[in-house]
């Protein structure tokens, strides 16, 4: 696991959109091996960040719902 990606579940405050985006960015950087992609890969890089952020939102929502139930 990338050490700079912090767990977002069970934080002392509600998770912010910025925290989700930062975690997604770190994940995509780690997996792709790019800190900053070339112009050719920029669109794919940014799309991956959005997809990871969306998946992160979904899992956090599902985990919260299961805790409440």
Report yes or no: 45 and 32 within 8 Å, Cβ to Cβ: yes
65 within some domain: yes
Q: How many domains does the chain have?
A: 1
3 within some domain: no
Q: What is the mean pLDDT of the chain?
A: 86
- Rg of the chain's alpha carbons, rounded to an integer? 13
Q: Is the pLDDT of residue 1 over 50?
A: no
Q: What is the pTM of this model?
A: 0.81
66 within some domain: yes
Confidence band for 15, pLDDT divided at 50, 70 and 90: confident
- pLDDT of amino acid 20: 93
28 within some domain: no
Q: Which domain holds residue 66?
A: 45-69
Q: Cα–Cα distance between 60 and 65 in angstroms, integer?
A: 9
Supply the DSSP symbol for 25. Answer: H
pLDDT digits (tens, 9 = 90+) for 35-59: 999 999 999 999 999 999 999 999 9
31 within some domain: no
């Amino acid at each position: 696991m990338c050490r700079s990606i912090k767990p977002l579940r069970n934080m002392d405050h509600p998770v912010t959109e910025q925290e989700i985006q930062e975690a997604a960015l770190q994940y995509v950087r780690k997996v792709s091996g790019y800190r900053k992609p070339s112009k050719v890969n920029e669109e794919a890089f940014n799309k991956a960040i959005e997809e990871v952020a969306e998946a992160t939102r979904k899992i956090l929502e599902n985990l919260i719902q299961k805790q409440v139930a």
